[in-house]
Amino acid sequence: MSDTTQNGPMLAADGTTLKRSLARSLRREKTRALLLISPLLFFVFLSFIVPIVSMLFRSVENSIVQDTLPETVVALQSWDAQSGELPDEDVYAAFVRDMLVAIDEKTHTRLGSRLNYEETGMSSMFRRSGRQIKRLDPVEDAPFKDKLIEIHDGWGEVQTWAVIKTHSVQYTDGYFLNAIDMQRTVDGPAVQPENKQILIQLFWRTLQMSLIITGFCILLGYPVAWILANLPMRTANLLMILVLLPFWTSLLVRTSAWKVMLQQQGVINDVLVWLGMVDDAARLIIINNQIGTIIAMTHILLPFMILPMYSVMQTIPPTYLRAAKSLGASNWTAFWRVYFPQSVPGIGAGSILVFILAIGYYITPEIVGGTKGVFISNRIAYHISSSLNWGLAAALGTILLAAVLILYWAYDKIVGIDNVKLGG
């Protein structure tokens, strides 16, 4: 007790002030905690943050035109695309010099594919012209204007140069414009011709159908979760396995099984015809359309709804219901006024989970969706793997990500995110 009689700050055993000693040990604690989670942080950073940022970046990045045709881009700056006249010889000469370098590095065809997204025909124009431009000499063969036009008519069209000029910026909004059925032209953004508009329609359809699927999951999942939560443990566990079993089956298997069930010569139609409920000549069409997608996806996503609902309902004491009833509430009132409000956090968590999963689904719609039941993600997959228009795919993905974040924010405003629980 001699410390209390001393003047000055309290000292720790090693003679430093207690305050500093405490701060040091807290810091050590924090560093240790940080070190412990650092593998996870590192993993999340590498596998999550970096790909998303690079995707976001890809949707605006457009350096390929400048990198491949640096001199042409500079020369085109003094040309007025709206004048209706071809650029002068300077541009053509610069273009030949750029192309000779590009052909040597085999990047001219890559630029052709890029510009072909904007103007049909560019791909073969660059590929074919490349073979002949290769033989030109940048000094002796001048002037080039007529020679190039002779190699390919396209070089004599104002539109060709206008496209190159329009898309020569380092960062472009072109992909985002394409993603909402518009395009970048010399005169600024313009709407795509009507017969090419599809993406906005797909965005709406994706949102609508995801909402419908979420709604069906709530309707079907709520009673199941309620039964699970109120049965004795042993029976509940057995039933739980039935909920989880599809969860452990491959997604493709489940989707293909729906195909067998739903097709016109499938199990459901066969049974209905056999029972005489449906005429053999008028079998139901319940696959390769929106109905097929809704049925299959509701089934596939149902466990994601039931599990959070179940774990929330388990924590609601049954005594509350009994108390309500003993105070004179009818069965319905007791459920609606006492039980249901307490289960809302489970519905919220399940709905967010199902909706966000549904909005990005693509395998199931691809297999059972036909033409009217496909989602925007099917288009993203097409642009990633078939058309290789990764910029557009990235822009579509970014819009989808933004839509999810906005909906999440709206949910937080309306229901409150604190009101979401995955369990007790």
Partner 1 sequence: MKKLSPVLVLAAAAVAGSATAQEMTIVSWGGAYSNSQLRAYHEPFSEKTGVTIINDDSSAEAVAKLRAMNEAGNVTWDVVDVVAADAIRLCDEGLAMEIDADTQLAAAPDGTPASEDFGDLLVSDCFIPQIVYSTTFGYRTDLVGDTPPTDVCAVFDTATYPGKRSLEKRPINNMEWALICDGVAFEDVYDVLETEEGQNRALAKLDTIKDDVVWWSAGADTPQLLADGEVIMGSTYNGRLFSVIEEQNQPVAMLWDAQVFDLDGWIIPAGLSEERKQRALEYVYFATDTQRLADQAKYISYGPARASSAPLVGQHADLGIDMAPHMPTDPENAKRTFLYNYEFWADYRDDIDAKFQAWLAQ
Q: Considering the rule CB under 8 A, would residue 116 count as an interface residue with partner 1?
A: yes
- Interface positions, 14-53, toward partner 1 (CB under 8 A): none
| CA distance between the termini of the chain | 47
Q: Considering the rule CB under 8 A, would residue 202 count as an interface residue with partner 1?
A: yes
In the three-class reduction of DSSP (H, G, I as helix; E, B as strand; rest coil), residue 183 is classed as: strand
Q: Considering the rule CB under 8 A, would residue 117 count as an interface residue with partner 1?
A: yes
CA angle 269, 221, 225 (to 5 degrees): 135
Question: Which CB, 212 or 344, lies closer to partner 1?
Answer: 212
Contact indicator for 316, 343 with CB cutoff of 8 Å: yes
Question: Which CB, 329 or 384, lies closer to partner 1?
Answer: 384
Size of the site for partner 1 (CB under 8 A): 39
Crossing angle between the packed helical segments 340-359 and 390-414, to the nearest 10 degrees: 170
> Could you identify the residue written with the tokens 């898309």?
167
Q: Considering the rule CB under 8 A, would residue 198 count as an interface residue with partner 1?
A: yes
In the complex, what is the shortest distance from the CB of residue 108 to partner 1, in angstroms, rounded to a whole number? 9
Spacing of C-alpha 312 from chain mean position: 29
- Interface positions, 258-287, toward partner 1 (CB under 8 A): 263-266
Q: Considering the rule CB under 8 A, would residue 185 count as an interface residue with partner 1?
A: no
d(CA 324, CA 330): 8
Contact indicator for 268, 262 with CB cutoff of 8 Å: yes
Indicate which single residue of 8, 15, 371, 418 sits in contact with partner 1 (rule: CB under 8 A).
371
Q: Considering the rule CB under 8 A, would residue 120 count as an interface residue with partner 1?
A: yes
Question: Which CB, 277 or 281, lies closer to partner 1?
Answer: 281
d(CA 164, CA 148): 16
Question: Which CB, 299 or 383, lies closer to partner 1?
Answer: 383
Indicate which single residue of 12, 21, 71, 109 sits in contact with partner 1 (rule: CB under 8 A).
109
In the complex, what is the shortest distance from the CB of residue 266 to partner 1, in angstroms, rounded to a whole number? 8
Lookup: tokens for 132: 């002949």
CA angle 222, 228, 232 (to 5 degrees): 150
In the complex, what is the shortest distance from the CB of residue 392 to partner 1, in angstroms, rounded to a whole number? 10
Question: Which CB, 38 or 230, lies closer to partner 1?
Answer: 38
Query: What's at 274, amino acid-wise?
Result: W
Question: Which CB, 154 or 350, lies closer to partner 1?
Answer: 154
Crossing angle between the packed helical segments 376-385 and 199-230, to the nearest 10 degrees: 120
Indicate which single residue of 186, 329, 356, 384 sits in contact with partner 1 (rule: CB under 8 A).
384
Question: Which CB, 168 or 389, lies closer to partner 1?
Answer: 389
Binding segment for partner 1 (CB under 8 A), chosen from 64-72, 162-170, 314-322, 386-394, is: 386-394
CA distance to 211, 307, 344, 410, per residue, from 414 (Å): 16, 23, 13, 6
Lookup: tokens for 370: 């036909």
Q: Considering the rule CB under 8 A, would residue 160 count as an interface residue with partner 1?
A: no
Indicate which single residue of 94, 122, 312, 394 sits in contact with partner 1 (rule: CB under 8 A).
122
CA distance to 204, 208, 210, 218, per residue, from 376 (Å): 9, 12, 11, 23
Interface residues with partner 1 (CB under 8 A) are 105-107, 109-110, 112-113, 116-117, 120-124, 127, 195-198, 201-202, 263-266, 288, 366, 370-372, 374, 379, 382, 384-389
